[in-house]
Amino acid sequence: MIRNTDHYRDRAQQIRDHEAALTALLGAADGTRLCALLKATAPKIYKDQLAGARRILRQHANLPDGFLDRLLQRPRLTATALRDYLDAYLRSPQRLQGPPPGALPTAAANTALRRYADLTAQELRHERR
C-alpha cells in the first residue's frame, strides 16, 4: 500500500509556525502587520508567502531603519515584492528619502505638471493655426 503523507500534514500548524517565526524576527507589532498584509494580498497561497518572507528576512537580518515601516504602508505585498524592494534598496539606499508610497505630489511636482500642460496646450494651438 502506498500512502500519500501529504494528506496527514497539519497545514494550520505550519502557518502558525511561520507566523511565530516572523513575529520573532520582526517583533510582535511589525510581524503581525506583515502577516496580515501578506494574507490580504494572497490568501490562497498565504503559507507560501509566509515561508518566502521568512526566508528573505532571515537572509537580511538587519533591515535599515524605516524600510519595514514603508513596506507595511503599502496596500499590497508579496514575498517576491519584498525581495525586489529589498534588492532595490540595497542597490540604492537613498530611495528611502523620497516620499512614502501613496503620498500626494508636492507643490513642485504640481508646478512641473502645470508647465507641461501649458506647453502641450501651446503646441496644440500652434498646430491648429
Q: Is 5 helix (H, G, I), strand (E, B) or coil?
A: helix
Domain spans of the chain, in order of start: 5-98, 102-129
Residues counted in the chain:
129
Q: List helix spans (H) across the chain.
A: 11-26, 28-41, 46-59, 67-72, 79-91, 107-128
Whether pLDDT at 116 is above 80:
no
pLDDT mean over 10-28: 89
Angle (CA) 13 19 20, round 5°: 90
pLDDT band at 104 (very low <50, low <70, confident <90, very high): low
Give me the pLDDT at residue 109, please. 56
pLDDT digits (tens, 9 = 90+) for 50-80: 999 999 999 887 777 788 888 899 999 999 9
pTM over the 0.75 mark: no
| Among candidate residues 80, 82, 48, 51, the one with its CA nearest the CA of residue 68 | 82
